[in-house]
């Protein structure tokens, strides 16, 4: 009776381990290290985007915040005001100021990144209705191709860092002033 119990216990553990490896996607070594197996992590859909502190421009599609979000708390803790120039980005740090330009109308506006999103594949930015109006995104088209030029980034100790494009603009102004003399 004792041998039979040990045998069933051993086979039960073996079956659980095989099923866990095949279905759930972990192995004892990866589980002990706190990691998932490569086959499972490769198919993971919810990867967190890395913050973009490069200061380089981004090109992509922008959409408008939904009207039902007015008054709701954004990621930085402020309430969403549809009449202010705020935006949501997956990769730009909260507090970043950027110039958003509609590539079809060439209209642009300065925004502050205050929220995370958009959560629709292929979009890089959500803008407030006020900003959308300024850059020519209407309810009819709803989505537009845009260029996002970061101006400043917040730094952890409370100051701001100019972006690459802001540094180039400042250098060009200085050079042209020297050339005029």
Same domain, 139 and 74: yes
Residues 82, 154 share a domain: yes
Q: Is residue 150 part of a domain?
A: yes
Q: Are residues 32 and 117 in the same domain?
A: no
Give the pairing of strands 108-115 and 86-89: parallel
Per the CB < 8 A criterion, the answer to whether 100 and 141 are in contact is no
Query: Are 76 and 23 part of one and the same domain?
Result: no
Residue 53 lies in a domain: no
Which of 132, 104, 125, 127 is CA-nearest to residue 52? 125
Give the structural domain span for 155. 58-174
In terms of domains, do 10 and 37 share one? yes
Total domains in the fold of the chain: 2
Does a structural domain hold residue 51?
Answer: no
Does 75 share its domain with 21?
A: no
Is a pLDDT exceeding 50 seen at residue 35?
Answer: no
Can you tell me which residue has the tokens 């990621």? 75
Task: Flag whether the pTM goes above 0.85.
Answer: no
Nearest of 7, 44, 146 to residue 87 by alpha carbon: 146
pLDDT digits (tens, 9 = 90+) for 79-96: 999 999 999 999 999 999
Same domain, 11 and 100: no
CA dihedral angle for residue 86, residue 87, residue 90, residue 92, rounded to 10 degrees: -60
Distance, in Å, from the CA atom of 35 to the CA atom of 49, rounded to the nearest integer, reads: 19
Same domain, 62 and 144: yes
| Section 97-116 average pLDDT | 96
pLDDT tens profile 36-90: 444 444 444 556 677 777 888 999 999 998 888 899 999 999 999 999 999 999 9
For residue 156, what is the domain's CATH number?
2.40.40.10
Q: How confident is the model at residue 162 (pLDDT cuts 50, 70, 90)?
A: confident
**Is residue 50 domain-resident?**
no
């Amino acid at each position: 009776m004792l041998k039979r119990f040990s045998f069933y216990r051993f086979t039960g553990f073996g079956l659980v381990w095989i099923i866990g490896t095949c279905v759930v996607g972990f192995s004892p070594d990866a589980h002990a290290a706190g990691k998932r197996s490569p086959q499972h992590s490769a198919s993971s859909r919810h990867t967190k985007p890395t913050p973009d502190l490069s200061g380089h421009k981004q090109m992509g599609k922008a959409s408008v915040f939904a009207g039902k979000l007015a008054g709701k708390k954004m990621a930085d803790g402020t309430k969403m005001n549809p009449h202010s120039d705020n935006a949501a980005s997956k990769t730009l740090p909260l507090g970043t100021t950027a110039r958003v330009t509609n590539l079809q109308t060439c209209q642009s506006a300065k925004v502050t990144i205050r929220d995370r999103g958009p959560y629709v594949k292929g979009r890089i930015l959500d803008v407030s209705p006020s900003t959308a109006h300024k850059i020519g995104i209407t309810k009819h088209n709803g989505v537009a191709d845009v260029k996002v030029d970061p101006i400043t980034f917040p730094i952890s100790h409370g100051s701001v860092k100019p972006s690459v494009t802001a540094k180039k603009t400042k250098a060009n102004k200085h050079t042209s002033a020297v050339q005029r003399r």
